[in-house]
Amino acid sequence: MKKNGFTFVELLIALAILIILIIILIGIINPTALVGKANDSQRKRDLDRIRKSFEEYFNDKGHYPLDVVEWNIKSNCKTPIFNPYLNPWPCDPNGEPYFIFVDTNGKTFRILTNLENKTDKAIPVGWYDQGNTYQVDGYTTDQVNYGVSSYNISWNTFTLSANCTLECYQLSAAGKCNSALAGCNDAGGIVSCYRNPSCESSCKVSCCGAGCN
């Protein structure tokens, strides 16, 4: 007589197959990446909402809001601090405020954030090639990679890091950091170029001097 049901060994095999399928499915779906993309979508929506509210404020007042320091404070997240233009005030999904900058005359602004998906198409091409030598409003490319701004400026305008000078320096094969008044180019890998008299890695560039940034 044939017995109905599964044997213990058959159950173990079925369970093992189920576990393998679950592991494969998790690998395909990658829930962490999905959460990151959802957070990035929220960041983009928030920055767009803030930009629009700033433009509405400008239309009413003739300048962008000047008291933005308060909006860079975590305790003001989700509060009516910018009512009626934007209520409540949005903050990053990680609970921290977005980086907001308005010039002293209220004529330009930048709002910056850091997307979790480093391959997001909204991140400018070559963004991470800048290193820490060049920054946006004091933040490195590892700290911010996406933003919005008033229409009269670009959000991703780079400036030299505060600890980097305009002069060129080079690290010789002997390990000495020497002034390179005529400029410096890393072509061939013979020397390394820096914008700091101590040849600090945070100020390393591929080229400096005439024809370079």
- For position 96, what pLDDT does the model report? 94
Asked if 72 and 102 sit in the same domain, the reply is: yes
- For position 13, what pLDDT does the model report? 81
Helix H segments across the chain?
8-29, 31-61
Listed residues 160, 182, 199: the one ending a domain = 160
Residue positions counted in the chain: 213
188 inside domain:
yes
> For each successive 10 residues of the chain (213 residues), what is the average pLDDT?
64 81 68 82 97 97 89 90 94 94 94 94 88 85 95 91 85 86 73 85 82 69
10 inside domain:
no
Asked if 191 and 106 sit in the same domain, the reply is: no
Query: Is-contact 166 208, C-beta < 8 A?
Result: no
Residue 203's nearest CA partner among 194, 212, 192, 190 is 194
State the total domains in the chain.
Answer: 2
- For position 20, what pLDDT does the model report? 79
Asked if 39 and 143 sit in the same domain, the reply is: yes
79 inside domain:
yes
| Domain coverage including residue 199 | 169-208
- For position 191, what pLDDT does the model report? 67
- For position 188, what pLDDT does the model report? 61
Give the pairing type, strands 192-194 and 169-171.
antiparallel
Q: Is 61 exposed, middle or buried (0-12, 13-18, 19+ CB in 10 A)?
A: exposed
Query: Is-contact 133 166, C-beta < 8 A?
Result: no
Asked if 195 and 139 sit in the same domain, the reply is: no
Asked if 152 and 177 sit in the same domain, the reply is: no
21 inside domain:
no
One-letter amino acid for residue 126 of the chain: G
CATH of the domain at 64: 3.30.700
Asked if 147 and 176 sit in the same domain, the reply is: no
